[in-house]
Structure 1
Amino acid sequence: MRCCSTMNSISSKSDGMKNRHRFEFAESRLTYGTVGGRFVKGENPFVEESYQRVALDQLIRIAGITDDDLLIMSDVDEIPSGHTINLVRWCDDIPEKLHLQLRNYLYSFEFFLDDKSWRASVHRYRAGKTRYAHFRQSDELLADSGWHCSFCFRHISEFIFKMKAYSHVDRVRFSYYLNPSRIQDVICRGADLFDLLPEEYTFQRIIAKLGPIPRSHSAVHLPGHLLQNVDQYRYLLPGNCKRESG
């Protein structure tokens, strides 16, 4: 699905068709669609997001999904592991809605935040009932199911675009937050791009997470595709915090 606008009604470009050749191995199983932006100034950004998710529901039906097919609902930076997907494929009578516990990383796999990501989910599809959503839908949670790598971009320009174009825009309180040199420094320190307190709900957890994220120097239990293509994705590995300008 290609969307012509962001949540904030900013025109967006897509590299999807340019990179289409990378998915030739599954070409016969892919369904493409485009949704035009509504570009309504001053509107709540989540109205635009909801509009895009409805369009995605329609594309899923066009692709030919049927009852009891497994449907993964996750953001692009939420990556279920291959072992997880095989497990739910091979097991009988899995829950109708199963959330996936993912390991949270920030900027790269050098900065492990916690293991509290839970919004990604797997659904047994039901025509007329299943809708694409990104909130709590069940009490069932499969532990250690993959990775959530937030703000894991190659180029500084991508950081700036996301800071301005998505639900984070109200966090950009000062223009210097978008300074490329500052962003690069924040990335290498494992600090917060918006100088905000940790998103926790007890003082104990807030205090425990204050300051930069401790570095990890391990490449154990990372996505297999990443480890098999180190040269292409080196910026995601520990010790490679410098980003390209883009």
Structure 2
Amino acid sequence: MISGGYYTWKKCDDKCADVCGQQASPTLLSMSSVRCFLQGLDLRSIFFLFLVIPSGVFFIYSHGQKITYFLRPLWQSPPKPFIPITHYYNENVSMPALCKLHGWGVREFPRRVYDAVLFSNEVDMLTIRWKELYPYITQFVLLESNSTFTALPKPLNFDINRDKFKFVEPRLTYGKIGGRFRRGENPFIEEAYQRLALDQLLQVAGIEDDDLLIMSDVDEIPSRHTIDLLRWCDDIPPVLHLQLRNYLYSFEFEHRDLSWRASVHRYKRGTTKYAHYRQSDYLLSDSGWHCSFCFRRISDFIFKMKAYSHTDRVRFSHFLKPKRIQDIICKGADLYDMLPEEYTFRDIIGRMGPIPHSFSAVHLPWYLLENADKYKYLLPGNCVRERS
């Protein structure tokens, strides 16, 4: 059966045609062929075939995304770097002096400011955001849908909780939009559909050329002094991204990576479109806070994981188990068991593992600290979430 170290398949076929001295039927022939094939394997070959290969397939299935992210430096170059703008601020420095420090002139009167958001279920974060920005916003513009980006039905949560936002009612433009409920469609298509509707709602709100428009998600909160600076200073860039301190789950876990997607636009009719991607090279440093997945209840974590555009990251059903989610929150680990999205091996390796705990609560939104008992879960040392 073995010739020169190689398996002689023709001889095997001859043998398999006569099993136990009997002429083989077609069914018996196929069974005997398998038996003959197995007899021709040594122990190492069997080990490789039945243990190593299945284990490798399972590993790739379970960790394929990690492998892709780890190898990113081989197939993707880092994006073009931003042009950072030094951000000067002290409460005792006058506005003309602050504008001059930035290389800008000062206006005789401030621009009008519109804050526009798509809303899902972030009632607490919306309250903190609007309290922070309230003195300097001309019109609050909010749109919500009865559908998530992933075509799941959802309640109109802002409408249900509208009584909590009476303080902005005189300056509120609120809109509702019906979802298209196209299951299986790329979630970013539904997201773009809702952002286009927000463009139309801004027209209803009365926005005009050269008004300032804040484009950011609810949990991307510009600091009030940042917006005051931009409304008073002349010659600011037409589109300016805001570099935000980036937090996860609460203000206890601060990422080394800074958030940049929030932006402020000098509105231009026919040109300015509401979007949530890079639209400029300019980045104003230290301009606020981004608190991602900063929810009070475990059920809110589960809802967002199933509802937002990156739902493909929920690769296994056990990712949604409440106990697992609670453990991860207190560790500062990743809900999706992902590697950092970096472009060099050094950055990927250096940023693996949970985010270190922070015990600083300095320079956070004022309304959060003023109502610390109510929002205790957002402050350091309070990682346990409500289960209901």
Instruction: Please confirm whether the aligned pair reaches a TM-score higher than 0.5, indicating the same fold.
Output: yes
- Which consecutive unaligned segments of at least 5 residues does structure 1 have? none
Q: Does 2:180 match 1:7?
A: no
Q: Which residue of 2 aligns with 1:196?
A: 338
Q: In 2, distance between residues paired with 1:113 and 1:100? A: 16
Q: Does 2:355 match 1:213?
A: yes
Q: Which residue of 1 aligns with 2:159?
A: 17
More helix by share: 2
Q: Which residue of 1 aligns with 2:216?
A: 74
Q: In 1, distance between residues paired with 2:182 and 2:345? A: 39
Q: Which residue of 1 aligns with 2:67?
A: none
Matches within 5 A, 1:160-171: 160-171=302-313
Structure 2 counterpart of 1:199, one-letter code = E
Structure 1 residue 20: Cα displacement: 1.9
Give the conservation status (yes or no) of the 8 Å contact 1:101–1:115.
Answer: no
Question: Percent identity, aligned pairs only?
Answer: 70
Q: TM-score with structure 1 length normalisation?
A: 0.97
The runs of at least 4 consecutive aligned structure 1 residues that moved more than 6 Å come to none
Matches within 5 A, 1:1-246: 1-246=143-388
Q: In 1, distance between residues paired with 2:288 and 2:362? A: 13
Structure 1 residue 146: Cα displacement: 0.4
Q: In 2, distance between residues paired with 1:191 and 1:115? A: 15
Structure 1 counterpart of 2:166, one-letter code = E
Q: In 1, distance between residues paired with 2:243 and 2:298? A: 29
Q: Which residue of 1 aligns with 2:112?
A: none
Q: In 2, distance between residues paired with 1:213 and 1:86? A: 32
Q: In 2, distance between residues paired with 1:234 and 1:18? A: 23
Q: In 2, distance between residues paired with 1:41 and 1:177? A: 21
Q: TM-score with structure 2 length normalisation?
A: 0.62
Q: In 2, distance between residues paired with 1:225 and 1:14? A: 25
- Tell me which moved more, 66-75 or 7-16: 7-16
Give the conservation status (yes or no) of the 8 Å contact 2:247–2:254.
Answer: yes
Structure 2 counterpart of 1:90, one-letter code = W
Structure 1 residue 160: Cα displacement: 0.5
Give the conservation status (yes or no) of the 8 Å contact 1:101–1:146.
Answer: yes
Structure 1 residues 115, 85: closer, same or farther in 2, change over 3 A?
A: farther
Structure 1 counterpart of 2:275, one-letter code = A
Structure 1 residues 222, 128: closer, same or farther in 2, change over 3 A?
A: same
Q: In 2, distance between residues paired with 1:199 and 1:104? A: 14
Structure 1 residue 115: Cα displacement: 4.5
- Tell me which moved more, 22-31 or 109-118: 22-31
Name the SS of the counterpart of 2:154 in structure 1. Answer: coil
Q: What is the count of residue pairs matched by the alignment?
A: 246
Structure 1 residue 237: Cα displacement: 0.2
Give the conservation status (yes or no) of the 8 Å contact 1:102–1:115.
Answer: no
Q: In 2, distance between residues paired with 1:25 and 1:150? A: 25
Q: In 1, distance between residues paired with 2:263 and 2:345? A: 29
Q: In 1, distance between residues paired with 2:308 and 2:160? A: 23
Structure 2 counterpart of 1:60, one-letter code = L
Q: In 2, distance between residues paired with 1:137 and 1:124? A: 13
- Tell me which moved more, 184-193 or 23-32: 23-32
Larger radius of gyration: 2
Q: In 1, distance between residues paired with 2:304 and 2:162? A: 23
Query: What is the aligned-residue RMSD (CA, Å)?
Result: 1.0
Give the conservation status (yes or no) of the 8 Å contact 2:191–2:309.
Answer: no
Structure 2 counterpart of 1:195, one-letter code = D
- Which consecutive unaligned segments of at least 5 residues does structure 2 have? 1-142
Q: In 2, distance between residues paired with 1:189 and 1:126? A: 45
Structure 1 residue 168: Cα displacement: 2.7
